[in-house]
Amino acid sequence: MEVSRSLRDKQIDVLERMLHLNKEGSADLTLASKSEEIVWKVLVLDMASREILSSVLRVNDLLRCGITVHSLINSKRSKLSDVPVVYFVEPTKANVSLIINDLNEDRYENFYINFTSNINRELLEDFAKQVALLGKANRIKQVWDQYLDFIVTEPNLFSLNIPEIFTSFNTLGTSEEVIHQLVGRISDGLLSLIITMDVIPIIRAQQNGPAEFVAQELDLKIREYLSNSKLLGVLDSNGSSSLAQRPVIILLDRNFDLASMFAHSWIYQCMVSDVFHLKRNTIKLTKHGKNEGETVSVKNYDIDPRDFFWNKYSQLPFPDVVENADLELNAYKQDAKEITNKTGISSLEDIDPHANATANIQQAVEKLPELTARKATLDMHMDILSCLINELQEKNLDTYFEVEQNANKSDAKLLKEFLELLQKDSVQDSSLDKLRTFIILALVGDMSQDYIAKARTILKDKYPDLDMSALNYILKFKENTKLANLSSLNDLNNQQSYSNSSSASQLGSSALLSGLSSKLYGLTEGKISEGLSSIASRIKNFIPEKKSLPITNIVEAIMDPQNSSAQSVQLTDDYLYFDPKSRGGGHSKQPKRQSYQDSIVFVIGGGNYLEYQNLQERSQEAGKSPMNIIYGATNILSPTEFLKECENLGNQS
């Protein structure tokens, strides 16, 4: 895998090539040579393919690739009989029928058909038969299996968008047939990823669970694909891949670490996902009225893959993001001032892009689109940060975060503080936040049954409608698996810890957050506020030290065993080993411990932004072996969504 080319880059390459009718060369019409004929096209999608495409491309990108109209396959579409159509849909019987209907009605001129994954032989033959009966085979110009059945939302983050896998695999009533179907669907999604990456990975997987089933199925699917294609993973001039050059795909069951799924975090992206709703690069921002009785408003923000602020700062701790927001706004103000000073115009809004003007005004006109887009991006993030501050303040979220950093200690002082926290009121309902912190203490701490009963009673008395089924499930889970003995890696102190928690407490977080909130409110009104940096620097005492999550310890042990702890390496030595290029097939004895530069880490049962950011932080860590890590899961979940799955499991039992 090329370090310089992210997973998102590679998916965009395949999508743009598809929009270019699967021809070589650039799909960008602005880069087309004079001799090349420009072809304008219609794009037809279904719901699944729209989610894949909309996560990485925008309407302007489609237009740049010659797409003038795009619509859903099951919607009412106009007849455009002189325009070619590009279909990008799932290979289902319903979609094939709709394509046949379009062909029969001569809805479009030529048909270029692309399936998100491979179409099975029976359906393909049925499709060919129906086309032949219509006598219009000459109109079908292409039929492609694109192997793009996964959603990419960050440079190296992907999801198969399969819901409730954790619930399905941990429910005793799930039938073998359903499990087999889910394993097949997951392995199909991973095969798509591997083909897009153009690699043949070594497979490592946890034993005795879904990861083992998926590993076996994926090994078979890669072998089958390789038997039909000699192009995958050609990494050298001899047409073969050496073991050292190949990546490793690490398959994990969600049960290896549940605490990270409930945790509160200071990382900007993680906080947005937790406090608001972040799905497929769309943030649903909920604003609560300042006064009682005021309605709650919801605003959607789209995170563009080219969003400079998000790309630079999403993985930083929240106080650092606030500080950088101030710097970026001042930089924008300075650039805008330089332009207006040269032109004698008081504001960028006064510039007329169509005016006949001097060289200075012409220069301003040229810079106007970039500056306008930059200002819009900054305004969006200022609004997000402002709302985030309000949520933090009104729910006292910093206090839960602090307790979680010391959860593994479970000393008398911490346990006493937690009981006080459970009884504390907040402006907004924080019952789920309290429940999440309680669950983390139950998972990684050492609490007596009397203490658990006391905390449970306080929580139930304060919030009579709160469903405690998730807590019941977690307590039973810990009892059944003896979690503390199975994995010493699952220590939340490894996750993060306060660098100076005592001084952080003395600062008085509420006052600081309140001051920061008012500063940000001023910024969202379009004013450049002074003193923001000094406030942000004062609350930097809240930022925890950089520590590794359990998933990062596991990945490091497999990718760099020589420099990992003996305990971590011993744990991962038991992971299954498959090499799809070896003869015979199936699980083979692990060879000598191998180092890898590239990996695909995949969690069956749900993942989150916290693990993604922790892995990316390790991959870029100075002084350690460089790593290129792609992270994915059956679905990317917020803590509240995962809590709901555990709640369902608790209710079932």
Note the pLDDT of residue 292: 60
Query: Per the structure block, which two tokens stand in for 580?
Result: 């799809």
Note the pLDDT of residue 611: 97
Distance in angstroms (rounded) separating the CA atoms of residues 489 and 549: 8
Over residues 32-41, the mean pLDDT reads 73
CB-based burial label for 177 (10 Å; 0-12, 13-18, 19+): exposed
Work out the angle between the directed axes of helices 550-559 and 609-619 (0-180°, nearest 10): 40
pLDDT digits (tens, 9 = 90+) for 366-416: 677 788 889 999 999 999 998 888 888 888 888 898 888 888 777 888 899
Note the pLDDT of residue 32: 65
Residue 237: φ, ψ to 5°: -65, -20
pTM: 0.88
Hey, what amino acid is at 60? Answer: N
How much is the mean pLDDT over the chain?
Answer: 84
pLDDT exceeds cutoff 80 at 222: yes
Note the pLDDT of residue 503: 32
Distance in angstroms (rounded) separating the CA atoms of residues 418 and 413: 9
Q: How many CB atoms lie within 10 A of CB 134?
A: 12
Banded model confidence at residue 526, pLDDT cuts 50, 70, 90:
very low
Q: Which of 76, 133, 87 is nearest to 110 (CA)?
A: 87
Q: Which CATH architecture has domain 7-148?
A: 3-Layer(aba) Sandwich (3.40)
Residue 69: φ, ψ to 5°: -135, 135
CB 574 within 8 A of CB 204: no
Note the pLDDT of residue 371: 84
Hey, what amino acid is at 467? Answer: D
CB-based burial label for 349 (10 Å; 0-12, 13-18, 19+): exposed
- CATH code assigned to 153-257+549-652: 3.40.50.1910
Distance in angstroms (rounded) separating the CA atoms of residues 308 and 306: 6
Give, in words, the CATH class of 398-489: mainly alpha
Return the C-alpha torsion angle 592, 595, 599, 603, nearest 10.
50
Across the beta sheet with 111-115, what order do the strands follow?
Answer: 67-72, 41-45, 85-89, 111-115, 140-145
Note the pLDDT of residue 566: 85
Domain ranges for the chain, please list them. 7-148, 153-257+549-652, 398-489
Q: Which residue has the higher pLDDT, 344 or 209?
A: 209
pLDDT digits (tens, 9 = 90+) for 543-601: 666 678 999 999 999 999 988 888 888 889 889 999 998 876 666 666 668 889 999 99
pLDDT digits (tens, 9 = 90+) for 69-87: 999 999 999 999 999 999 9
Note the pLDDT of residue 239: 41
Q: Count the alpha carbons within 13 Å of 497 in the hemisphere toward its beta carbon.
A: 10
Q: Do 398-489 and 153-257+549-652 fall under one CATH topology? A: no
